[in-house]
Amino acid sequence: MLKIRNLHVAAEGEAILKGLDLEVAAGEVHAIMGPNGSGKSTLAAVMAGREGYEITEGSIEFLGEDLAGLEPEERAWRGLFLAFQYPVEIPGVTNLEFLRASVDAHRAYRGEEATSAVDFMKLARATSKQLRFDTDFLKRGVNEGFSGGEKKRNELLQMLLLQPKLALLDETDSGLDIDALQIVADGVNTLRSPERAIVMITHYQRLLDHIVPDKVHVLSGGRIVRSGGKELALELERKGYGWLEEAAA
């Protein structure tokens, strides 16, 4: 599903990713861990097509297509979803209208009719309930005045409504309380299926107790320096990243 080869990325002339390789097959769940500033969010942003990053070498292939020539919305329509580390606010635009516009844009791409207001409301309510997210949040401005945890839950709501093929979760667990973590993890697990893949960026082993990954990678200094099974995360928890950085250097 996803093939990243020798990816080099620079922002403002500064190299951030320096030869990154990653392959994710349909049905798999991967976790990416790594020290602060190592380039995890950059990787996610580049995959989603954010401006301001230059791919100086290498390629990203998603569902057999090179992403380089595609606009962010075109990647989204093909099923690539990014849950942001820091979701932004859009004042005055209600969550409900935003979600509906988003869902309808995806439907239009697939040649399906727009949702009816009533049907969509029902769906949005049911999905909110699933995340134990008060339906009042549907009426509020997108992320407007939401707490950190509420913003993360709102990202999940968007993800479940869009049912992406590849979900990139950038520290979706950060800032969640213990109960919320469980709810969010349950939500992500409902998305697991043989046709979909999930890539989670996280700093904490505890998320991986709830969403058990098939593979764990360590990103450091702009490259994947170690990959392994779920036990790698436990090892990191004990030893930190120092030993890997030394090994890589």
Partner 1 sequence: MSETASRTSPKGDEAIDRHLAREYEAGWVTDIESDTLPPGLDEDVVRFISAKKNEPEWMTEWRLEAYRHWLTMDHPNWAHVHYPKIDFNSISYFSAPRSQADGPKSLDEVDPELLRTYEKLGIPLHEQQMLAGVAVDAVFDSVSVATTFKSKLAEAGVIFCSISEALQEHPELVRQYIGSVVPYRDNYFAALNSAVFSDGSFVYIPKGVRCPMELSTYFRINAQNTGQFERTIIIAEEGSHVSYLEGCTAPQRDENQLHAAVVELVAHKDAKIKYSTVQNWYPGDSEGKGGIYNFVTKRGLCAGERSHISWTQVETGSAITWKYPSVILRGDDSVGEFYSVALARGRQQADTGTKMIHLGKNTKSTIISKGISAVKAENSYRGLVRIAPTADGARNFTQCDSLLIGDQCGAHTFPYIESRNPNATVEHEATTSKVSDDQLFLCRQRGLDPEKAVSMIVNGFCKEVFRELPMEFAVEAGKLLEISLEGAVG
Ligand X SMILES: Nc1ncnc2c1ncn2[C@@H]1O[C@H](COP(=O)(O)OP(=O)(O)OP(=O)(O)O)[C@@H](O)[C@H]1O
Residues at the contact surface with Mg ion, assessed by CB under 5 A: 40-41, 85
State which of positions 74-113 bind ligand X (CB under 6 A). 85
Q: Is 9 in the site for ligand X (CB under 6 A)?
A: no
Q: Is 11 in the site for ligand X (CB under 6 A)?
A: yes
Q: Is 36 in the site for ligand X (CB under 6 A)?
A: yes
| Cα separation values, 104 from 89, 100, 112, Å | 21, 6, 8
Q: How far is the CB of 146 from ligand X (least distance, A)?
A: 20
Compute the distance between CA of residue 208 and CA of residue 235 in angstroms, rounded to an integer: 13
Q: How far is the CB of 138 from Mg ion (least distance, A)?
A: 28
Taking residues 206 to 235 in sequence order and writing x for each that binds partner 1 by CB under 8 A, - otherwise, the string is ------------------------------
Q: How far is the CB of 229 from Mg ion (least distance, A)?
A: 24
Q: Is 147 in the site for ligand X (CB under 6 A)?
A: no
Single out the residue of 11, 77, 192, 210 in contact with partner 1 (rule: CB under 8 A). 77
Q: Is 72 in the site for partner 1 (CB under 8 A)?
A: yes
Q: How far is the CB of 86 from partner 1 (least distance, A)?
A: 8
Site of interaction with partner 1 (CB under 8 A):
48-52, 71-73, 76-77, 81-82, 84, 87-88, 90-93, 97-98, 101-102, 105-106, 109, 141-142, 158, 162
